[in-house]
Amino acid sequence: EVQLQESGPGLVKPSQSLSLTCSVTGYSITSNYWGWIRKFPGNKMEWMGYISYSGSTSYNPSLKSRISITRDTSKNQFFLQLNSVTTEDTATYYCARSWDYFDYWGQGVMVTVSS
């Protein structure tokens, strides 16, 4: 069974970087696409970007200058880094397997940006 699990700090200071890890079991990240999605307080959802089976990436233009998605295939993990965060980046962050739509999701990690 495909399982995804996000990990990372729940509190980040403004202007710092947010770094999250998604650990995948039951399926290789060298297949499919692997994405990050976030849900803001108030329930708006935003696709942030993905990393493909080959390691290529695609990002939401709204984040393009601040986001980086990378991977470690030896550990079957992929990573999110979001730079220069503000309080508007406070959200629950999810990783998910993607075929365009998302068929397997992690449980999510709530990240608060606050000093």
Partner 1 sequence: DIQMTQSPASLSASLGETVTIECRASEDIYNGLAWYQQKPGKSPQLLIYNANSLHTGVPSRFSGSGSGTQYSLKINSLQSEDVASYFCQQYYDYPWTFGGGTKLELK
Residues that bind partner 1 (CB under 8 A): 43-47, 58, 60-62, 94, 99-103, 105-108
Q: Which tokens go with 61?
A: 């233009």
Nearer to partner 1, 2 or 13 (CB): 2
Distance between CA atoms of residues 30 and 11, nearest Å: 31
Q: How far is the CB of 5 from partner 1 (least distance, A)?
A: 11
Q: Which is nearer to partner 1, 38 or 71 (CB)?
A: 38
74 versus 88: smaller Cβ distance to partner 1: 88
Nearer to partner 1, 62 or 73 (CB): 62
- Smallest gap from residue 20 Cβ to partner 1 (A): 15
Which residues lie across from 85 on neighbouring strands?
Answer: none
Q: Is 16 in contact with 65 (CB distance < 8 Å)?
A: no
DSSP states of 75-110: TTEEEEEE-S--GGG-EEEEEEEESSSEEEE---EE
CB of 55 to partner 1, least distance (A): 18
